[in-house]
Amino acid sequence: MTTKNAFWGFGLPRLEHTPLPVGSERLEAIALPQTVTLLHRRPEEKKAIPLLKTGDAVKTGQKLSLYGNADYVTSPATGKVVSLSPVTGNFGRNLTAVTVATDPQENFDGEFDAARSLLSLDAAGKFLAAVPGQPGLERLTDPERPIKTIVVCGVDEDILVVTRQHVLASRLADIQHGIQILKQLTGIEDVVILTRREAIQGHGSIGGRVMGVDPRYPAALPLLVMANVFRQEVPAGRTCEDKGFCFISAEAVASIGSAFSTGRIPVVKTLTVIPKDGRIRLAQAPIGTPIGAILKHFDVTIAEGDRIVFGGPMRGTAVFSPDHPVQPDTDAILVLDAKAAARTSDYPCINCGECVRVCPACMQINLLVRYLEAGKYEDAEESYDLNSCVECGLCSFVCVSKIPILQHIMLAKHELVRMRSTETLTETIDG
């Protein structure tokens, strides 16, 4: 997205969003591990004390709110809490790892079942925020940004990832019911189902109009969908919700449909697994399952220098331990052999212009990155369209100097939000 230039540059690399492989209907079921770990947001206060304690019993589908605020996680298993420990997430986020020793004798929590017939949209968000796909229902309740169109994403945002496509193809009944529930709870009648352009047939009967997305990467990213499918420009620094559109993954909608059909909170995540051989697999694993258990199921061994990535090769985030758990929004696990993994370097930009050539927002990446490397985030935002970036990763992909440009951009955006939140809090306290 951009406010200064046209969307598409010239000569983009011919990368395409990966189609669902033929014969991929079968999901590999990952058994419930002996322990599952949930990552709960932790308040900034260093002495924040969790309401749960070790030894507490939990039920499958039980809502666990550690600090008495709106944040919570959902237990994917019946068992006992064996550990509560502070951990640091991406960009220094404060988290608490809740580890549960699982019990094979499953006991489902009945709180949602008892309340579902009376739920409002706001109340539904208090139960369904952590279901597979992570719907983000709070975006539908913001009076300052009224939503007019719900977009059900049946296309995946990164190459090699086919999770959303699989869910759209295999869970039509759940998606249809989820769309009905969303219409009832929100009053929004305009629902769009996004699919690959060549797969547009066969989805019009599930409660929305079907629109196709160009197979070229990164056409499936929401900001590019807004520009190229809906013909709506999203100004730099604004969101799709500001334009009245709310993007929700097909799996999140299916989770909503399943929850209201069965009275049970879904706790099993569908994900794409891409081992070193590049062969795409599909699996289902309880949220909180350690990566190592999934890789062991597929006989994937991790050697020195190999990389484990949550997500696809263009936009994914590296994790540093096979104990890291599957989260509600984990769509893919990619394993890169040490020899194939791209290495960053401290070699300076050589002004080759490749990043400018491939940028879908036509940004001056070669100049922007100099400000980012120097930590001049506000200058980068003001002078070089930092907020126009759609975070596709093409610049990093083509960079001759191996500069991790996308990571610089994501860090800059995060730091600007953090700085301004701190300033607002300080002004509130002083005022």
Give tens-digit pLDDT for 149-181. 999 999 999 999 999 999 999 999 999 999 999
CA distance 243 to 259: 29
Place of tokens 């992909």: 397
Helix (H) or strand (E) holding 307: strand 307-310
The pLDDT, as a whole number, for residue 7 is: 37
The pLDDT, as a whole number, for residue 418 is: 87
The pLDDT, as a whole number, for residue 46 is: 63
User: Cα 138 to chain center, whole Å?
Assistant: 15
395, 406 Cβ separation under 8 angstroms: yes
Q: Helical H runs in 129-231? A: 163-170, 172-186, 222-228
- The pTM of the whole model exceeds 0.85: yes
Q: Is the peptide bond between 235 and the residue preceding it cis, with omega within 30 degrees of 0? A: no
Which is it for the CA torsion 208, 209, 212, 217, positive or negative? Answer: negative
156-to-19, 31, 215, 222, 303 alpha-carbon distances in Å? 9, 25, 10, 10, 29
CA distance 254 to 431: 46
Q: Which CATH superfamily is domain 113-262 in?
A: NADH-ubiquinone oxidoreductase 51kDa subunit (3.40.50.11540)
CA distance 233 to 223: 8
**Three-class secondary structure of residue 33 per DSSP:** coil
> In angstroms, what is the C-alpha Rg of the chain?
22
Classify the phi-psi angles of 96: left when phi > 0, otherwise alpha if psi is within -120 to 50, otherwise beta: beta
CA distance 264 to 109: 8
- Series of mean pLDDT values for 10-residue runs along the chain (431 residues): 38 79 84 97 81 96 94 97 93 93 96 93 94 97 95 97 96 96 96 89 77 95 97 94 98 98 97 94 97 96 92 93 96 92 79 94 94 94 93 95 94 91 61 56
- Per the structure block, which two tokens stand in for 69? 């605020």
- Per the structure block, which two tokens stand in for 401? 């100097």
Long-range contacts: 180-183, Cβ < 8 Å, 24+? 180/207, 180/257, 181/256, 181/257, 181/260, 182/140, 182/150, 182/248, 182/253, 182/256, 183/207
CB atoms within 10 A of CB 287: 25
| Sequence-distant (≥ 6) Cβ neighbours of residue 325 within 8 angstroms | 36, 37, 38, 39, 287, 288, 289, 290, 291
Q: Which backbone phi and psi does 153 adopt, to 5 degrees? A: -90, 105
CA distance 98 to 82: 8
CA distance 250 to 347: 41
Q: Among 367, 371, 363, 312, which residue's Cα sits nearest to residue 336? A: 312
What CATH number labels 33-103? 2.40.50
**Residue 132, amino acid:** P
